[in-house]
Amino acid sequence: MRYLIAGNWKMNGSTASARDLAAAIAAQHAGAKADVVLCPPAPLLAAVGATLAGSTIRLGAQDCHFNEKGAHTGDISAWLLLDLGCTHVIVGHSERRADHGETDGQVKAKATAAMKAGLIPIVCVGETEAQREKGETAAVIARQVRGSLPDGASPETVVIAYEPVWAIGTGKTATTADIAAVHGQIQQLCGPKPPRILYGGSVKGSNAAAILATPGVSGALVGGASLDAADFWRIVEACPPVSA
């Protein structure tokens, strides 16, 4: 299975800048050796989707509600995201878990809704710095993976992203040994056919090759570097060739 590089633009950009960024990335993607998903803020999905039309880059969202419709002011359903042209949606990002108090059960419900709508959820897991210092990383990852993955998940229907919270937007990056250990644990938790497992946390062009060559890593969920077309493309180009 090809590597997957997903760009999480978070709460950044305008209609004009989003179109320019998407166009700059799309212009380079033909013949690329990795799959690419761009995840702009919800109000920019239509503009980015229109810019990506005809390219091989996929459109993703940053969150969804677990209901198809209803009285949920300010939320957006997976079915509406599908209607907008999305193929993927991020769920359970640490910023959602921290800022909005999302639980594993709520993340699972969102991931389940995404699958039912025909989207591929990118389910995020990761420990905080305090949990890491207490030696709780393995326990936290086990709890989040078991509690957040939808029933019936398969390599074709779900993606997992390991993002140590202490490495997101801080400039800190886990060592390749740390990454390999957690990705190996997630693979074991998922059984003989694990989904693609992305690494996220201050991934950039300068460190992407080492991270993407780490055992168990099959892509990256990129934050800040995804807002720079040139640096983001260096990450895509750093993906190792996939064995036949």
Residues marked as catalytic: 93, 163
Q: What is the CA radius of gyration of the chain?
A: 17
Neighbours of 175 (CB within 10 A): 10
Residue 176, both tokens: 């390749």
Neighbours of 7 (CB within 10 A): 27
**Residue 136 phi/psi, 5° resolution?**
-100, 5
Give CA–CA dist 137/172, Å, rounded.
16
For residue 26, the one-letter residue type is A
Burial class (CB in 10 A: 0-12, 13-18, 19+), 196: buried
Residues 86 and 45: beta-carbon distance below 8 Å: yes
Reduced to 3 states (helix: H, G, I; strand: E, B; else coil), residue 125 is strand
In sequence order, what are the residues at sequence separation of 6 or more whose Cβ sits closer than 8 angstroms to the Cβ of residue 131? 137, 140
